[in-house]
Chains A and B, each alone.
Chain A
């Protein structure tokens, strides 16, 4: 159910890239896939969802197991099974960090010798998966690649679970910074010139003793090789940044109304605003129903909790079929009251979070907890229904 100016469908129709972000476990992957499902089903065209680490069953349902980086069309039969006749095509691809890095090296290496030296460097193999939030960078890099291929009408991007939801936004910038850093040059200087200058000598003495000089040399070699790709990388990182800023790109922030994710989502919204990026919609996932806040029901629950015996006695006058044990009935009534008031506590907390966070976007969608996890196209369709 949406509130505010326009709808999710209008948003999807107006944009070429939708970046779905939020803190860990809130439902980014599910939401990204559901948004792509909406676009493919209702709007038509070629829609790609680029997912990160989907739950295994969902990946299987989209035909994504063992595909590496390749995109694959979700079969029309899978849609038919879910009772949907899509107007367009839904494609899905996973993000394989290691393979994406290798591709990147292949693209930017100045020559075959450098390329092979990097790919074979034992440090590279360790490092490729982790350094400078490489996962984040790779996600943005792949997005750029896919978008500039021009194959898709809409790309919906899922984002990796980072400690801070906004890390990936700064990844291109960090990558550029990393390669232009004076620190890097300073670190490599002695290995280039063989002349350890006076200022850095103590560092090398310590580092040598602590880490062993062979290791230091390995690192230096590795970064020196990387340096040869400097221009290509920086150029690319800037291009990736421009795509994020483009007005054809929009961001959808997903959060639950638990305090930690909501806090993170608020910070994220602030950063989007300060970077002048487009906040398209806010998805409040797995929220409790607003009915829990109803005053009359709340009074009823309180009465059930306070005087269950009296209520049971008066109820049994006309409805003796309920139970032949008044105490048992009273216990049930009391538990009903307790349970309502318990969940009301949580619902109130959620309402406060929502009041604080809900003002941020034009489109705010609340999605209830569905009865089952989302692991197939039918599940995506149910989620999509809630998002529309």
Chain B
């Protein structure tokens, strides 16, 4: 099994809101800190990826956010222009006004065109060895399969043409487990776990390898060995009244909050074990704890990075 960061191209995906961007940012930062020249790419242009570094916007051309760590935003129109200019040597035509608009239109209509331009650009950066590692903050689970399958689909749809020729090397690169892998981010909740397991199945049909599953927002065990019994005695009316008296403040809400924490943890633990079971023992599973921070900028990214570093070491 190839180590997660030893691959060259990682697609980070998962259900909406589970922490894809956070994990992609952390993987990028970790790789860069370990000395790899790393490119991170946000596929939907929401700006969350650079926000994770409090770094302001980036466009299609990569910008170095930290030493060795570059970020870019995917733009399929720019990708097409670059492709036309670099591969077909059509610089003048590429600047044609209506082309862009028509292209956009066509890309909406024809399945796989946008996807292949996205995946193609990233695969190209890998093939040309511009970076040691490319981390993609990819589409949510529903769409990522379409993206990864796009070269295959285009290949089948187009019988001739330059695009078709390009898809051969793309497929080879994507289907090489030493090069490319998918990182699924899951939250320990019902739907994200179900979707993650479905995605693992669907991935098999794309030929792209699963590099790891990151379980995000794991709640720490509140009490260690023997402590839960003490807590049970503490919530007895006489004891909790004594505790309130000792603190000279009402303590029942603190005890309620602990019960809530335990309930949340228990439900998450149940989903977690369902995920583990569904994945089987062979898969790499990495855990990232719930962060209790005021805000979610660079500090949170660094914390997640450190959690992942500990998991991977």
Binding site for B on A (CB under 8 A): 23-25, 55-56, 123, 126-127, 130-132, 161, 163, 181, 183-184, 186-187, 199-200, 202-203, 205-212, 214-215, 219, 223, 258-261, 288-289, 291-292, 294, 296-297, 299-301, 303-304, 311, 314-315, 318-319, 321-323, 328-329, 331-333, 335-337, 339-340, 342-346, 348-349, 369, 371-373, 375
In the complex, which of the residues A123, A321, A339 has the most CB atoms of chain B within 10 Å of its own CB atom?
A339
Q: How far is the CA of A335 from the CA of B158 in the complex (A)?
A: 62
- Closest Cβ of chain B to A78, distance in Å, is 20
With A314-B246, A340-B258 known to touch, is A210 a contact of B161 (CB < 8 Å)?
Answer: yes
**In the complex, which of the residues B140, B249, B292 contacts A345, with contact meaning CB atoms closer than 8 Å?**
B292
- Closest Cβ of chain B to A116, distance in Å, is 21
**In the complex, which of the residues A205, A212, A214, A336 contacts B258, with contact meaning CB atoms closer than 8 Å?**
A336
- Closest Cβ of chain A to B194, distance in Å, is 7
Contact between A212 and B164 (Cβ–Cβ < 8 Å)?
yes
Asked whether any CB of chain A lies closer than 8 Å to the CB of B267, the reply is yes
Chain A residues lying within 8 Å of B296, measured Cβ to Cβ, are: 259
With A259-B296, A314-B246 known to touch, is A202 a contact of B253 (CB < 8 Å)?
Answer: no
Known: A23-B16, A211-B110, A212-B159. 7 other contacts (CB 8 A): A23-B17, A24-B140, A183-B105, A209-B161, A297-B251, A345-B292, A371-B267
With A55-B194, A187-B102, A292-B257 known to touch, is A315 a contact of B242 (CB < 8 Å)?
Answer: yes
Asked whether any CB of chain A lies closer than 8 Å to the CB of B93, the reply is yes
With A163-B44, A369-B264 known to touch, is A322 a contact of B233 (CB < 8 Å)?
Answer: yes
**CB proximity to A under 8 Å, residues B99-152:** 99, 101-102, 105-106, 108-113, 140, 142, 146
Top 5 A-B pairs ranked by shortest CB distance? A24-B16, A212-B161, A297-B253, A342-B292, A300-B249
Instruction: Look across to chain B and name the residue whose beta carbon is closest to the beta carbon of A352.
Output: B294
Q: How far is the CA of A163 from the CA of B264 in the complex (A)?
A: 28
Contact between B16 and A130 (Cβ–Cβ < 8 Å)?
no
With A206-B84, A212-B161 known to touch, is A132 a contact of B106 (CB < 8 Å)?
Answer: no
**In the complex, which of the residues B15, B160, B249, B255 contacts A25, with contact meaning CB atoms closer than 8 Å?**
B15
Contact between B102 and A340 (Cβ–Cβ < 8 Å)?
no
Contact between A340 and B98 (Cβ–Cβ < 8 Å)?
no
With A25-B15, A202-B93, A297-B251 known to touch, is A209 a contact of B162 (CB < 8 Å)?
Answer: yes
Q: How far is the CA of A311 from the CA of B251 in the complex (A)?
A: 12
- Closest Cβ of chain B to A142, distance in Å, is 20
Q: Which of B205-213, B218-226, B276-284 contacts A (4 or more CB under 8 A)?
A: B218-226
Binding site for A on B (CB under 8 A): 15-18, 44, 48, 84, 88, 90, 93, 96, 98-99, 101-102, 105-106, 108-113, 140, 142, 146, 153, 157-164, 189-192, 194, 222-224, 226-227, 230-231, 233-234, 238-239, 242-244, 246-247, 249-251, 253-258, 260-261, 263-264, 267, 292-294, 296
In the complex, which of the residues B157, B190, B191, B253 has the most CB atoms of chain A within 10 Å of its own CB atom?
B253
Contact between B17 and A258 (Cβ–Cβ < 8 Å)?
yes
Instruction: Look across to chain A and name the residue whose beta carbon is closest to the beta carbon of B227.
Output: A332
Contact between B233 and A210 (Cβ–Cβ < 8 Å)?
no
In the complex, which of the residues B189, B260, B293 has the most CB atoms of chain A within 10 Å of its own CB atom?
B260
Instruction: Look across to chain B and name the residue whose beta carbon is closest to the beta carbon of A349.
Output: B294
Chain A residues lying within 8 Å of B159, measured Cβ to Cβ, are: 212, 214-215
Contact between B292 and A343 (Cβ–Cβ < 8 Å)?
yes
Would you list 5 pairs from A and B whose C-beta atoms are within 8 A, ordered by A residue? Answer: A288-B260, A297-B250, A318-B242, A331-B227, A340-B253
Q: How far is the CA of A372 from the CA of B270 in the complex (A)?
A: 11
- Closest Cβ of chain A to B220, distance in Å, is 9
- Closest Cβ of chain B to A62, distance in Å, is 16
- Closest Cβ of chain A to B14, distance in Å, is 11
- Closest Cβ of chain A to B110, distance in Å, is 6
Chain B residues lying within 8 Å of A24, measured Cβ to Cβ, are: 15-17, 140
Instruction: Look across to chain A and name the residue whose beta carbon is closest to the beta carbon of B264.
Output: A369
Chain B residues lying within 8 Å of A323, measured Cβ to Cβ, are: 230, 233
Chain A residues lying within 8 Å of B256, measured Cβ to Cβ, are: 289, 291
- Closest Cβ of chain A to B153, distance in Å, is 8
Chain A residues lying within 8 Å of B249, measured Cβ to Cβ, are: 296-297, 299-300, 303
With A297-B254, A371-B263 known to touch, is A328 a contact of B230 (CB < 8 Å)?
Answer: yes
With A258-B17, A297-B254 known to touch, is A345 a contact of B294 (CB < 8 Å)?
Answer: yes
- Closest Cβ of chain B to A281, distance in Å, is 22
With A335-B222, A339-B261 known to touch, is A315 a contact of B96 (CB < 8 Å)?
Answer: no
Contact between A335 and B227 (Cβ–Cβ < 8 Å)?
yes
Contact between A300 and B247 (Cβ–Cβ < 8 Å)?
yes
Q: How far is the CA of A339 from the CA of B244 in the complex (A)?
A: 17
